[in-house]
Amino acid sequence: MLRYIARRLLIAIPTIILVSVLVFTLQQLLPGDPVLTMAGEERDPQVLAFLREKYRLNDPIPVQYFVWVGQVLQGNLGISLRTDIPVLKLILTKLPVTIELAIFAMIVALAIGIPAGIISAVKKGTAVDYATNVVALSGLSIPNFWLGILLIMLVSVQWQLLPASGFVPPSEDLWLNIKTMIMPAIVLGTGLAASLMRHTRSAMLGVLRSDYIRTARAKGLLGHVVIWKHALRNALMPIITLSTLLFGELLAGAVLTEQIFTIPGFGKLVVDAVFNRDYAVVQGVVLCTAVGFIFMNLLADILYVLVNPRLRHAR
Amino acid sequence: MINEAALRSRETDLAVDPLASPASEPLLRVENLSIRFDGAPKGINVVDDVSFSLAKGKTLCIVGESGCGKSVTALALMGLLPTPPARIVQGTAHFEGKDLLGLTERERADLRGNSTAMIFQEPMTSLNPAFTVGDQIAEGILRHRKVSKTEAWERALEMLRRVRIPAPEKRLRAYPHELSGGMRQRVMIAMALANDPQLLIADEPTTALDVTIQAQIISLIRRLQEESGMSMILITHDLGVVAEIADEVVVMYAGRVVESGSVEAIFEDPQHPYTIGLMGSVPSLGRRQGRLATIRGSVPPAELMPKGCRFTPRCPFAESRCATEPPPLVEATPKHHVRCWYAPLEQHRGAVS
Ligand SMILES: Nc1ncnc2c1ncn2[C@@H]1O[C@H](COP(=O)(O)OP(=O)(O)O)[C@@H](O)[C@H]1O
Ligand code: SF4
Ligand SMILES: [Mg+2]
């Protein structure tokens, strides 16, 4: 098991290197001379030369790459041009907010998507199946911003149940923090629930046809044991794959929802950075997202082993 | 001619009439079972008017080529057919006085794996890859018996011993992928017999296994049957096995019983051209060994099923009447039934020549 995880980690290394090269290249391709940007109004050639030397911009590109990697490894992702705050610090303040939101959204998505997928697979071809599919399709086609606005108008404005927007750190007021997360989590989660439901349905349909399900029934096991124990366990692999992918996307892609509910998360950071051409921040965010995806993949690999004993003995 | 047919079918009715032999009520009595699949041409049943019965402690072998409806019949008896697409058109299956086909799903589940059990053709895929062998045996015990988890696992261990699995304590915690096909089939047998069923249905339990393992599994099943006194329906392609362990034989062709009787009657005096074909030659005395002989052609698909005798396109004795009129199942000699217009063939051929 540990060896398996170690091997997965090793496999992740080339991916990380590739990502870092891409991010570094992006930086090289950016228009404008970084020294001119840094120097501001200063045009003194000596100062410019000094800056060039200081940031080792005269070195060959590969050397510059290693210098940059060294800095990144020390946690130095550069400084936001617009806010003068270190990029790492910016990311570290925004990321937990988005992770919290993503977790809540995933809970909503899993709690709706998996049971709905199972029910529609078990009731395949019946009215229940069609109804679930119609609801899922509408869930997929309703844009997040529309659902978000609808929820705000109903739940916050009309019924005054939950705050319409804003964010309170959990350290300040946990209950209020959760209340502010509910609606955005529903908006994000229902969108994902639809695709989770469809994947669960097709995975379950495949599994329900298999011989070991017939064996389980031949033992006289009741329907719910056959489905929730014997079938679901085997249908979990594709569900895990999709869930971790979706979670990764939530981290980078909750932009619109964060805007609607004015949640100061990662998505907002990205949008602000892109609009302000704050390249250092964009770069840090890209790097961070890439590493996040790699981490989610690793998580998926570990979960696979937990549900599939055959992998435990893989070399 | 029509009168003769009517006469013959009346004999058939008498022969399968349960009231005719009230003395020894069989453990299982299947009568006029017909099954169709949705989408099949109208009136074409995959299993058509199948009747047979099985006494306590006896073994009934069902033989026939692939696609003859043997598995569908077995699954229907276990209540494991997917309905839809399968539909039971007519028939009854009395087991211990209850009609299996008339029970509710819950009542059927209470019998499954308890007093009726089944093992399948594909040991490689019939065990759940996600759970240990012990778990899968024990859960069947826990389902039907009021025992603790520990007792169920002890019983599972005992079952692994009874099916002669080496190092059973270790195997209890093994996952199916760690076992060979033969071992997995032993596990399936252990699972099926864990609650001491009165009826075991074994659907080609050795077809997917290595030849060397096949004999071991058959003799294991045989020995376990002798130990427990259960009845068995064995579906097999191996006439050697049939000759060795069957008491009764049912020969199926394209969903119909074409011949049935005691193993002696079937082997020593086969009457139906299909049975004779399976045995690989014209009727003669003496038991044959080995697999079914191949007969030219194949079982027609439902769309091309002849209206009369379903064997017509492949039958060397077929005459014009065969294609249009289905022959009834008649009693050729006592307790030996044949579904052919021209049975017994010797007599008929003699009369013709
Ligand atoms: N789920 C199904 N849907 C439609 N047709 C089926 C299904 N299962 C079996 N059949 C058909 O029923 C016939 C009998 O199959 P089966 O009982 O498996 O034959 P065998 O005698 O080889 O066990 C075959 O022609 C097969 O095509
Ligand atoms: S009824 Fe006719 S076709 Fe059918 S088995 Fe007898 S002789 Fe052959
Ligand atoms: Mg079969």
pLDDT of residue A249: 83
Structure tokens at B291: 């697999």
pLDDT of residue B50: 95
Is residue A219 within 8 Å of B112, Cβ to Cβ?
yes
- Determine what percent of chain B falls in helix, strand and coil, rounding each to the nearest 5: 40, 20, 40
CB burial string B217-248: b at 16+ within 10 A, e below:
bbebbbebbeeeebbbbbbbbbbebbbbbbbb
Can you tell me the distance from the alpha carbon of A142 to that of A222, in angstroms, rounded to the nearest whole number? Answer: 38
**Residue-by-residue DSSP string for B68-106:** SSHHHHHHHHHT-S-TTTEEEEEEEEEETTEEGGGS-HH
For residues A113-124, average pLDDT: 92
Q: Does A117 or A289 have the greater pLDDT score?
A: A117
Contacts by B341-349, CB closer than 8 A, 24 or more apart: B341/B309, B342/B317, B343/B271, B343/B272, B344/B271, B345/B271, B345/B273, B345/B276, B345/B283, B345/B317, B346/B283
| Residue B350 CB partners (closer than 8 Å, separation 6+) | none
Atom of ligand 2 at shortest distance to CA of B316? 8
Atom of ligand 1 at shortest distance to CA of B235? 23
Summary count for chain A: helices (H), strands (E): 15, 0
Statement: the pTM of the whole predicted model exceeds 0.95: no
Task: Pinpoint the residues of chain B covered by CATH 3.40.50.300.
Answer: 1-115+198-292
pLDDT tens by residue, A193-216? 988 999 999 999 999 999 999 999
pLDDT tens by residue, A133-157? 888 888 778 888 888 888 888 888 8
B191 contact A CB<8A: yes
- Low-confidence stretches of chain B (pLDDT < 50) are 1-22, 281-288, 351-353
pLDDT of residue B12: 44
The domain covering B1-115+198-292 belongs, at the CATH homologous superfamily level, to P-loop containing nucleotide triphosphate hydrolases (3.40.50.300)
Among A180-189, A258-267, B8-17, B191-200, which is the least confidently predicted range? B8-17
Q: Which of residues 182-211 of A touch B (CB under 8 A)?
A: 210-211
B177: which DSSP letter?
G
Structure tokens at B278: 């399976």
pLDDT tens by residue, A222-241? 999 999 999 999 999 889 98
Instruction: Determine the residue among B77, B108, B114, B128 to mutate to test chain A binding: the one whose Cβ has the most chain A Cβ atoms within 10 Å.
Output: B128
- A310: which chain B residues are within 8 Å (Cβ-Cβ)? 129, 175, 177
pLDDT tens by residue, A13-50? 888 888 888 888 877 777 666 666 666 666 777 877 87
Chains A, B: CB contacts within 8 A come to: 77
For ligand 1, the distance from its centroid to the CA atom of residue A61, given in whole angstroms, is 68
Atom of ligand 2 at shortest distance to CA of B317? 7
Q: Which fold has domain A96-275?
A: MetI-like fold (1.10.3720)
pLDDT of residue B11: 43
Structure tokens at B51: 């009747």
Structure tokens at A12: 């992740």
Can you tell me the distance from the alpha carbon of A221 to that of A226, in angstroms, rounded to the nearest whole number? Answer: 6
Is residue A56 within 8 Å of A100, Cβ to Cβ?
no
pLDDT of residue A33: 67
Can you tell me the distance from the alpha carbon of A36 to that of A43, in angstroms, rounded to the nearest whole number? Answer: 8
pLDDT of residue B127: 96
Tokens 């990144």 correspond to A72
pLDDT of residue B20: 44
At A3, the pLDDT band (50, 70, 90 cuts) reads confident
Strands B59-63 and B248-253: parallel
- B333 phi/psi in degrees, rounded to 5: -130, 165
What is the share, in percent, of chain A residues with pLDDT greater than 70?
Answer: 95
pLDDT tens by residue, B33-87? 999 998 888 888 999 999 999 999 999 999 998 889 999 999 999 999 988 889 9
**Residue-by-residue DSSP string for B15-61:** HH-GGG--SS--SEEEEEEEEEETTSPTT--SEEEEEEEE-TT-EEE
**Is pLDDT of A314 > 80?**
no
Structure tokens at A86: 């270190």
Can you tell me the distance from the alpha carbon of A34 to that of B168, in angstroms, rounded to the nearest whole number? Answer: 72
Can you tell me the distance from the alpha carbon of A257 to that of A157, in angstroms, rounded to the nearest whole number? Answer: 18
Q: Is residue A227 within a helix (H) or strand (E), and if so which, with residue range?
A: none
Tokens 């270790």 correspond to B170
B111 contact A CB<8A: yes
- B314 phi/psi in degrees, rounded to 5: -110, 0
- The CA distance from B117 to the nearest CA of chain A, in Å, is 7
For ligand 1, the distance from its centroid to the CA atom of residue B69, given in whole angstroms, is 6
Tell me which residue has its CA closest to atom 5 in ligand 2.
B340
At A8, the pLDDT band (50, 70, 90 cuts) reads confident
Q: Assess whether the C-beta atom of B72 lies below 6 angstroms from ligand 1.
A: yes
Average pLDDT, chain A: 85
What is the share, in percent, of chain A residues with pLDDT greater than 90?
Answer: 21
CA distances A92 to A75, A111, A264, A265, A288, Å, are 11, 29, 12, 10, 10
At A63, the pLDDT band (50, 70, 90 cuts) reads confident
Can you tell me the distance from the alpha carbon of B322 to that of B324, in angstroms, rounded to the nearest whole number? Answer: 6
How many beta carbons lie within 10 A of that of residue A165, not counting itself? Answer: 15
Q: Among partner residues A218, A222, A309, which is closest to B130 by beta-carbon distance?
A: A309
Paired residues of A276 in beta bridges = none
Tell me which residue has its CA closest to atom 19 in ligand 1.
B67
pLDDT tens by residue, B159-168? 999 999 999 9
Is residue B72 within 8 Å of B101, Cβ to Cβ?
no
Q: Is residue A252 within a helix (H) or strand (E), and if so which, with residue range?
A: helix A232-253
Structure tokens at B52: 């047979």
CA distances A55 to A27, A34, A52, A68, Å, are 14, 10, 5, 10
Strands B59-63 and B330-333: unpaired
**Is pLDDT of A274 > 90?**
no
For ligand 1, the distance from its centroid to the CA atom of residue A120, given in whole angstroms, is 26
**CA terminus-to-terminus distance, chain B:** 20
CB burial string A109-139: b at 16+ within 10 A, e below:
bbebbbebbbbbbbeeeeeebeebbebbeeb
Task: Pinpoint the residues of chain A covered by CATH 1.10.3720.10.
Answer: 96-275
Closest CA to B74 of B103, B26, B112: B112
pLDDT of residue A273: 83
Is residue A56 within 8 Å of A64, Cβ to Cβ?
yes
Q: Among partner residues B106, B122, B191, which is closest to A211 by beta-carbon distance?
A: B122
Can you tell me the distance from the alpha carbon of B318 to that of B312, in angstroms, rounded to the nearest whole number? Answer: 6
B238: which DSSP letter?
B
